[in-house]
Amino acid sequence: MAPHCAASSAAGQTGAAEETQPGAADELRALLIGASDVLSEYVAQSQQPQARVLGGRSVQQMRADLRLDEFPDKGAGADGIWDDVRAVCGAAANTWSSRFLYKLYAAPAPAGVVGEALLGVLNNNSHVFRASPAGTLIESSVAAKLAELAGFPAQTEGLTFPGGSYANMHALVTARNCALPDARRRGLHVPGGRAPVVLTSRHAHYSVDKAAMAAGLGLEGVAHVPTDGHGRMDARALRRMLQRAVDGGLAPVMVNATMGTTVLGACDPLDAIAAVCEDFGVWLHVDASWGGPLALFGGDPPAAPAFAVPRGRIDSMTINPHKLLGVPLQCSFLLVRRGLGTMRQALGLNAGYLFHDDADASELDLGDATLGCGRRPDAIKLWLMWRYYGTAYFVRRVAHARRMALRLAELVRTRTSPAGRWRLVQEPPSTCVCFWFVPRQLAGGSSDEDERWGLATRRICERVNASGTALVDYASVDLPRPGPSGAPEMRRVPDFFRIPLNSPDVAEDALVAVLDAIELAASGLTF
Amino acid sequence: MAPHCAASSAAGQTGAAEETQPGAADELRALLIGASDVLSEYVAQSQQPQARVLGGRSVQQMRADLRLDEFPDKGAGADGIWDDVRAVCGAAANTWSSRFLYKLYAAPAPAGVVGEALLGVLNNNSHVFRASPAGTLIESSVAAKLAELAGFPAQTEGLTFPGGSYANMHALVTARNCALPDARRRGLHVPGGRAPVVLTSRHAHYSVDKAAMAAGLGLEGVAHVPTDGHGRMDARALRRMLQRAVDGGLAPVMVNATMGTTVLGACDPLDAIAAVCEDFGVWLHVDASWGGPLALFGGDPPAAPAFAVPRGRIDSMTINPHKLLGVPLQCSFLLVRRGLGTMRQALGLNAGYLFHDDADASELDLGDATLGCGRRPDAIKLWLMWRYYGTAYFVRRVAHARRMALRLAELVRTRTSPAGRWRLVQEPPSTCVCFWFVPRQLAGGSSDEDERWGLATRRICERVNASGTALVDYASVDLPRPGPSGAPEMRRVPDFFRIPLNSPDVAEDALVAVLDAIELAASGLTF
C-alpha cells in the first residue's frame, strides 16, 4: 500500500494542490477497505462465545501495548495503522459480546457505523445551515418525527446534543431563563430576587444536579422528591414541596421527571406530575434518555404500558437514540414543545460573525439555540439507520430488550442455588433488572437491610468483571422503608446487581451465563 | 448484497443469538466496503476544480432529494443505503473543495475518518475507565503530550469535550467554584455574597458570554476588555478593569485570553495578561481553540512567533484539534494545570451508580471531572492521526496554513482591479485573512467607516456563495478608532471578508479563484 498521501500533500508547496488532491480519495478508499477487514474481524472475534468482555490486562500492560509514549515525528502511515487499530480494539471494552451488560448502551448497529464514517468524511458542522444543509434538515426532520411519535403538538421542534446530560442542562437553563427573565442578563446574584429551585426525583439522573450546580442554583437548589416503593416520583410529595418552595419565596423553575430511571428503569407518573406542574405553572422536563424508546417504539400491545407521554403536557424531553436504539455514541435529542424560538430567546446571542440575519436560511441555523457552537450532525446516524432498518427494527429491538428483561427476572426469581439466595429488588418496570445474590452465609436473615449484601454484590461483581466472562454493574437507590416510628422513610438499600437489557444479540444463553458467572464468583468468597 | 442482517437478528427469538451473531460482522464488512467506494468517489468528485462548494438547490428541493417525509416501516437495507448516503453528500457543504474557506475547519484527514469508524465500532464510552480502557488511556496520554508541547508543568492533565464552547464552559464553572467555594453548594443567590465576573476581550469567542450566562453570572457578568488596533486585549485596561471590579465588591473568577481570535486570528499578549492575573490571583484561561496549534506545532522558526504559551503561568487552555489539525469534528481538549482533581472537586458528584470508589481504576474515570456523563473517546482520532502522519505532518500543516495566509494577504495587497479597490483590514497575525473589496462606486472616500463597505461585503459574499464557486464568510469587529474628542473609542468597522486558511489542499490557485469570484460577483452590483 502506498505511503500516506495526505502527509506528503501537507508538504504543500504552493501550486501542488492539483497533483495531490486525487491522493485523498485513493487514500480514503484504501483506508476504508482496510478498516472493513480489520473491524469486521474484530466484531466476529468479539462475538465468539469465549470472547472476553474486558481484556484483563493491567493498566501498565495496556499502556505498553498501545505504545503510549510514542508520538513519532514521522508517521508510520498505512504500514502501522492496522497494528494501532488492533491495539485499540484489544484494550477496549467489548460491547459486541452478548455478556456486555454493563451500561445503558450496547453494540452499535452496523448501519450506524456507516453513519459515523459519513459524518467523518463530510465534516459538516450543523451550527449554521450553510455549513451543513443536509445535516440540519435531517436533524430537524428526525426531531419532528420523534416529537410526533411522542405525541407532542405540531409546533414542537428539537435538536441534538452531545449526550443526555447536555440536553438536560439546556432544558434547565432555558426553563430558568423563561421563569426568571432577569437571569439571562443580570444573572442570579440579584438582591431581592427569588432563589431558583429545580425539583426532581431522588432516582433521577445526576445530570440534573450537575446542571443546577453549573447554572448557579447550587446543589442545594435541587429539591429531591421522594419516590414510592417502585422508585417512581411521589406526585403528592411533589405538590407539597412545590407549595413549600413558593411559600418560602423560592422560584421553582423546572420539574424534572424521568421516563426510565437510571438504576431501576422506572417511569415517573407523568400525568399526575403534569397536573401538578400545570397548577404551579412550572416547566416540566422529562428525561427519557433511557426509557423514551419504550414510549415511542413500544409496539402494540405496548412493551411497557406505563411508558407513555402525556400528550401536549410536557415542555421538553430528552431522548437518547444512542442507548436503546443502538445508534453509535453520541446521538441525543432534546424536544421542545414551544419550539426552538424559545431556546434561541433564552440562550441565543446571535453572534454576528457566525449567524447572519440577512441570510435567507437563518431560521434554519440550529447553533444559536444552544450554549455550544460547533455541532456534529449526529441525527444523520439515526436517520440512516431508520431508512436502512425501518421503524419495525426499533419496535422489535425495544420489544426484545423488554422480553429479555422479563426473562432475566424470571430466571432470577426461579433460580435456586446451594451457594446462596437469588432475590429481585422488584419486578423490572422496563429493561433494567435489579437483584441480589445473597451468599449462603448471609442469607439467614430475612432483612434486605443487611449492608453485607451490598458488600457481597460489590465483591462478586469485581470478580465477574475481572474474569472477563461478563461485564456487569451494581448500584443502589433510596427506597421508602419503615422507619423507627413505622412511618416510611427514604433509606438506601444495599448495593445490588443492575443489568440493563438492550442489544438484539442478547439471548437467554447470555443471561444464564451471567447468572452462572455470579454464582461461580461468589463461591470462592467468604464473609 | 444480502438484506440487512441486524434487522432480522432483531426479530430476536430467544436463543437466536448464536446464529445471527456472525451476521453483524459480515454486514459491517460489506457496509464498510460499500462506504469505501461511495465515500471515496464523493471525495474525488468534490475535489474537482469545477466542483460546487454548496449545491445551490433550494431547501424545498433538498428536502425532496432526501425524501425527508419517508420514515419507512420496513427498511430498504443494503439496496437503499447508498442512494441515501449519496443524497446526504449531495446536500452537504463540500469541505473537500480547496475553495471551502468558510469556517475554521476544513476537509478531514483520511486517517481521522478511520478513527470515526473505529469509534463507531467500539462504541466505548469514556465516562468510566472500564467502559473504555483504551479510549481513557489514550485521552490522558494525548492530553499530557499536548500539555508538554504547550509548556505546561508536569502535573497538568486534560480531557476532551464536545467542542471548544463546552471546554470553555467547564473552565469557567471550575474557576467560578474555585473562586467562590459556596457557589457549588449554595449557588450564586447568596445574600451578601460577592457577584462573580469574568473578564475577556471584546474579540473573544461568544462561548465565554454564553458560558457566563449559563453559569448564572448573566451577560452583564462579563466585562469586555478593549483591544489594541490589532485586536489584541489591552492588558493595562484589563488591570484597570480588574481593580475596578474588586473595588466595586465584585468577585473576578476568571480572565479569558484568546490565542487566535475568531475573526482576526490575533493572539492576546499572554505574558502581560498572566502578570495581571497573578497580581489579582485570578484564574487565567486561554481559549486557543483556533490558534493553539500555532504554538504547539509552530515549527522552528515559528510560523507565528506571537503564538507562545507563557510557561506554567496559565491555569487552563482549550485547544481544538478538529480545527487547524484536520481531525474530524469533534475533537476538543481542555488542559488544566492543577490537574483533573481540581475539576473533580469543582464539578464532581461521584454518582454512586456510575463511579465506584472501590474500583482500583477510579482515578482513571474521566467523566466525573465534567458536567456531562457519556463521552465519546474523541482523542483516539487525534492519536491515530499522530501515529499515521507523525508530528511533522501537523507542523507542515500549520506552516502551510500560515504560508497561505501570508500569500493571500499579499495577493489582496497587490491586486488591482478596475472594478474597485482591495484593502486589507490588517496584516494577518496568524491564519485568518480579513479584507474588503470596495466597489468603485464606494471607493472614493478614504474612510473605512463607510457602512456601505459592509453592505457591499454582504451582498458580494451572498453572490459568491450562491454561485457555488467558493464558500466564504464575512464578519466584523470593534476596533479602537479616534472618537469625537480624538481619544480612541472601540467602534464597529464595516463587515469585511474573513478567510481562514487551514487545509493542506489549499494552494495559490484556490486563493486566486476566490478573489476572482469576489470581483466577478461585485461587477454586477450597484450601490
pLDDT digits (tens, 9 = 90+) for B28-83: 999 999 999 999 999 999 999 999 999 989 999 999 999 999 999 999 999 899 99
**What is the sign of the dihedral through the CA atoms of A183, A186, A187 and A191?**
negative
Start-to-end CA span in chain B (Å): 59
Q: Give the H/E segment covering residue A362.
A: none
Give the other-Cβ count within 10 Å of A451's Cβ.
11
- Fold topology of B399-523: Aspartate Aminotransferase, domain 1 (3.90.1150)
When scoring B26, B353, B511 by the number of chain A Cβ atoms within 10 A, the one with the most, hence best to mutate, is B353
Question: Domain A133-181+194-393 is of which CATH architecture?
Answer: 3-Layer(aba) Sandwich (3.40)
B269 Cβ contact partners less than 8 Å away, ≥ 6 residues apart: B232, B233, B235
Burial class of residue B116, CB neighbours in 10 A (0-12, 13-18, 19+): buried
Contact B15, B89 (CB under 8 A): no
DSSP line for B270-303: HHHHHHHHHHHT-EEEEE-TTTHHHHHS-TTTTS
Q: What is the DSSP string of B352-388?
A: TTT--TTSTTGGG--GGGSS-S----THHHHHHHHHH
Any idea what the Cα angle at residue A500 is, between residues A497 and A502, rounded to 5°? Answer: 155
State whether residue B106 sits within 8 Å of chain A by CB: yes
Mean pLDDT of A147-154: 97
Q: For chain B, how big is the Rg over CA atoms in Å?
A: 25
Above 80 in pLDDT, residue B451?
yes
Residues 40 to 79 of B: which have CB under 8 A from any A CB? Answer: 40-44, 47, 49, 54-55, 59, 62-63, 66, 68-78
Does the pLDDT of residue B324 top 90, yes or no?
yes
Answer yes or no: is pLDDT of B14 > 60: no
Residues of B in Cβ contact (< 8 Å) with A131: 93, 102-103
Contact A106 B123 (CB under 8 A): yes
Q: What is the pLDDT of residue B19?
A: 39
The set of cell numbers assigned to B269 is 499578549
Min Cα distance B162 → chain A (Å) is 6
Nearest beta carbon to residue A388 from set B80, B90, B347? B80
* Segment 213-272 of chain B within 8 Å of chain A by CB: 213-221, 262-263
Distance between CA atoms of residues A353 and A86, nearest Å: 43
Q: State how far residue A451 is from chain B, nearest Cα, in angstroms.
A: 15
| C-beta atoms of A328 and B400 within 8 A | no
Average pLDDT rounded to a whole number, residues B257-267? 98
- CATH number (3.90.1150.170, 3.20.20.140, 3.40.50.11540, 3.40.50.2300) of A23-117 reads 3.90.1150.170
Domain A23-117 shares a fold with domain A398-523: yes
Beta-bridge partner residues of B422: B437
Question: Under CATH, which architecture does the A398-523 domain have?
Answer: Alpha-Beta Complex (3.90)
Per domain, the residue ranges of chain A are 23-117, 133-181+194-393, 398-523
Contact between A521 and A514 under an 8 Å Cβ cutoff? The reply is no
Contact B12 A380 (CB under 8 A): no
Q: pLDDT tens, B384-441?
A: 999 999 999 999 999 999 999 999 999 999 999 999 999 999 999 999 999 999 998 8
Mean per-residue pLDDT of chain A: 93
Please tell me if residue B1 touches chain A, with a CB cutoff of 8 Å. Answer: no
- CATH level 2 (architecture), domain B118-182+193-393: 3-Layer(aba) Sandwich (3.40)
Residue B11 has pLDDT above 90, yes or no: no
Amino acid identity, position B372: G
Q: Give the closest-approach CA distance of B282 to chain A in angstroms.
A: 19
Task: Quote the minimal CA–CA distance from B442 to chain A in Å.
Answer: 21
Task: Give the model confidence (pLDDT) of B198-256 as tens digits.
Answer: 999 999 999 999 999 999 999 999 999 999 999 999 999 999 999 999 999 999 999 99
Q: Which chain A residue lies closest to B189 (C-alpha atoms)?
A: A189
pLDDT category, A420, cuts 50, 70, 90?
Answer: very high
- pLDDT of B355 over the 50 cut: yes
Give the count of beta carbons closer than 10 Å to the beta carbon of residue B485.
Answer: 7
Give residue-wise pLDDT tens across range A384-408.
Answer: 999 999 999 999 999 999 999 999 9
What's the pLDDT at B123?
98
Taking only the tens place, the pLDDT of each residue in A265-276 is 999 999 999 999
Query: Burial of A77 by CB count in 10 Å (0-12 exposed, 13-18 middle, 19+ buried)?
Result: buried
| pLDDT at residue B269 greater than cutoff 90 | yes
**What are the Cα distances from residue A77, in Å, to A226, B118, B295, B393?**
57, 17, 25, 11
Q: What is the pLDDT of residues A72-99, one digit of tens each?
A: 999 999 989 999 999 999 999 999 999 9
pLDDT for A358 equals 53
Q: Which of A137-151, B14-28, B509-523 has the lowest mean pLDDT?
A: B14-28
User: Is residue B265 scored above 60 in pLDDT?
Assistant: yes
Structure confidence by residue, pLDDT tens digits, A54-64 = 998 999 999 99
User: Is residue B102 within a helix (H) or strand (E), and if so which, with residue range?
Assistant: none
Q: Do B130 and A475 lie within an 8 Å CB cutoff? A: no
Chain B residues touching A184 at Cβ < 8 A: 213, 218-219
In the prediction, which pLDDT does B450 show?
Answer: 81
- Per-window interface: B 362-421 vs A, CB < 8 A: 364, 371-376, 380, 384, 386-393, 396-397, 399-400, 403-404, 407
Tell me which DSSP letter residue A193 carries. P
Q: Look over chain B and give the mean of its residue pLDDT values, rounded to a whole number.
A: 93
B493 has pLDDT over 70: yes
- pLDDT at residue B20 greater than cutoff 90: no
Please tell me what DSSP assigns to residue B4.
P
Nearest in space to B146 (alpha carbons), one of A510, A71, A163: A71
- Inter-chain touch A85–B20, beta carbons under 8 Å: no
Burial class (CB in 10 A: 0-12, 13-18, 19+), B247: exposed
Q: What pLDDT does residue A170 have?
A: 98
Contact at 8 Å (CB) between B496 and B435?
Answer: yes
Q: Which amino acid is at A526?
A: T
The pTM assigned to this predicted structure is: 0.95
- Chain A residues in contact with B44 by the CB 8 A cut-off are 22, 25
Considering only the beta carbons, identify the residue of B10, B18, B115 that sits closest to A393: B10
Q: Which residues on B lie below 8 Å from A164 (Cβ)?
A: 373-374
Q: Which residues from chain B sit within 8 angstroms of residue A76, using beta carbons?
A: 387-388, 390
Find the helix or strand (DSSP H, E) in which B12 lies: none
Kindly tell me if the per-residue pLDDT of A189 is higher than 90: no
